[in-house]
Structure 1
Amino acid sequence: MFLKISTILLIPSLIIQGNAVKKKTLRLAEPEGNRQGMIGSGSPLSILILGDSAAAGVGVEIQEDALLGAVLNQLKDQYEITYMLEAKTGHSTGQVFKTAKSMSAQHFDVVITSVGVNDITKLTSPKNWIKKQQQLYTEINQKFTPALIIASGVPPMNMFPALPNPLAWLFGQYAKGMNQNLSKFILQQANMQWIEYDLEHFKVLDLAMATDGFHPSKEIYALWGKQVADKIRQMF
């Protein structure tokens, strides 16, 4: 109720600040590079990455510096990896669900997801968001039969340099509610784990975000990829 009331009260500011952010924020392209292939040597491992612009690697110029490249770089000396990246800038949970639904049924040992920011910009309530998330992960389990799903938490948008207050504060409240619901949901799933997007920790390490103030940088992708790889090693 608090979030709903806050949203209603802040609508005039949201419209003004939202339009200003759209005009001022740099529009970065998705990085170049292979989104499907095979790399490495060792035990066979298949990986699918699904999601939004962060999953796609926006913020860097080549896939080797993005989430996909960071994960592959961490694991390629231990596993022969078959990989696929299906992610697009602007995609919300509903759109990622449609992407998964349109793909051919095939097995992946690991599915990695990153989605939520665009649900927040659409002012999707945490309650409705987790329902969409549940639909997404049901589809992922049925379509790809993964042994492990790694869900990336929604970033704390209140800490995004590109966002002014009160817009940043409100988006941060949405992210907090979504992550609370996601954490509870994942605890009930046998094959799921999640990674919290700890932007405060990144700042302590003096790691800046990408030039648009909205997406991860190469250094942040590297740490994110290491977190993902550590969870994969624990399972396989």
Structure 2
Amino acid sequence: MSKTEALAKIMLGPVLLLQGLYTRRVTPKLPEAEGEREGVAGSGEVLRLLILGDSAAAGVGALTQTDALSGQLVSRLARDHQVMWKLWARSGLDSQSLLELLEQKTAESFDVVLLSIGVNDVTSTLTVDQWIARQQQLLATLCGTFGVRQVVISPLPPMHLFPALPQPLRWYLGNRAKRFNAHLAKLAGSEDHCTLLTIRLAPVAGSMARDGFHPGPLIYSAWADDAAIAIARRFRNTASGKL
């Protein structure tokens, strides 16, 4: 824990706790996007894709999966590949519960995983070291049990800009998200099979869901663009056409 975070918890602890409880109570509970969670799209070389993670991966903030992250990413990749895709995501998941979800799945192989996890860890009491240890477990599980060749990791969003969060809670969670991202970048940089997306999904007017916490279709579109570019770049850099 950083000195700033430790001091904030001492000085602002009761305020942060009350704001967190209040925000959970008044923030609208939006459903996950409706639609298929697996399928085949496009033609060409086969690409086995898994979209994995929390409520953002599940498409909260979009009405259908077509407008959510999964649908927008698959549509881009299907221009050049036959994409065999699955979506394993659920609102409320943190890194530990995502590990438990993977343990319940039958082992199968994927070429690429797009991972979205961490917001619910930031809002918990987890330390950055504990969080990174769980990211390492996730990577080991994906590459070991599921034979993943490339893990495309989504950074934590800029929570210091989330309109649903009051101050100073917004500042506090934003600061934690930045610290988590800094350590995540070091982890991804040390792993050849990892790609950390660089796009800064900063909200602009009309781009977020009405809860002020989740992405809207415009942000999902930018996110899918960045992920598709990262995946395509990895494919171009392999002579055999395999990841």
2:137 to 135, 138, 141: 135
Instruction: Find the aligned partners of 1:197 and 1:210 in 2 and give their Cα distance.
Output: 19
1:185 aligns with 2:187: yes
Q: Deviations over 1:129-154 (max 9, x none)?
A: 11111111111111111121000001
- Superposed, 1:11-160 pairs within 5 Å as 11-160=13-162
Instruction: Find the aligned partners of 2:11 and 2:201 in 1 and give their Cα distance.
Output: 28
The range that moved more, 164-173 or 139-148, is 139-148
1:169 to 168, 171, 192: 171
Instruction: Find the aligned partners of 2:210 and 2:149 in 1 and give their Cα distance.
Output: 36
Q: Deviations over 1:100-124 (max 9, x none)?
A: 1221111100011000100011132
Contact 1:153 1:194 in 2 (8 A): yes
Task: Please state whether the residue corresponding to 1:129 is helix, strand or coil.
Answer: helix
Q: Deviations over 1:157-208 (max 9, x none)?
A: 11100001110000011101100000000111011001145133x53xx552
Q: How many percent identity over aligned positions?
A: 38
Runs of 4+ in 1 over 6 A off after TM superposition: none
1:102 partner letter: Q
Task: Please state whether the residue corresponding to 1:64 is helix, strand or coil.
Answer: coil
Task: Please state whether the residue corresponding to 1:11 is helix, strand or coil.
Answer: helix
Structure 1 pair 12/196, CA: closer, same or farther in 2 (3 Å)?
farther
Q: Deviations over 1:46-92 (max 9, x none)?
A: 00111100011100110000100110111112111110111110000
TM-score of the superposed pair, with normalisation by structure 1: 0.95
Instruction: Find the aligned partners of 1:4 and 1:64 in 2 and give their Cα distance.
Output: 42
Instruction: Find the aligned partners of 2:216 and 2:58 in 1 and give their Cα distance.
Output: 13
Task: Please state whether the residue corresponding to 2:224 is helix, strand or coil.
Answer: helix
Give the superposed CA RMSD.
1.3
Contact 2:110 2:147 in 1 (8 A): yes
Instruction: Find the aligned partners of 1:147 and 1:19 in 2 and give their Cα distance.
Output: 40
Contact 1:155 1:197 in 2 (8 A): no
- Alignment coverage as a number of residue pairs: 233
Contact 2:197 2:230 in 1 (8 A): no
Instruction: Find the aligned partners of 1:208 and 1:63 in 2 and give their Cα distance.
Output: 17
Task: Please state whether the residue corresponding to 1:208 is helix, strand or coil.
Answer: coil
TM-score of the superposed pair, with normalisation by structure 2: 0.92
Tell me which protein shows more helix as a share of its residues: 1
Instruction: Find the aligned partners of 2:199 and 2:31 in 1 and give their Cα distance.
Output: 22
Instruction: Find the aligned partners of 1:211 and 1:119 in 2 and give their Cα distance.
Output: 22
Give the aligned partner of residue 240 of structure 2. Answer: none
1:185 partner letter: L
Shift of 1:211: 0.6
Contact 2:207 2:217 in 1 (8 A): no
Give the aligned partner of residue 215 of structure 2. Answer: 216
Contact 1:154 1:197 in 2 (8 A): no
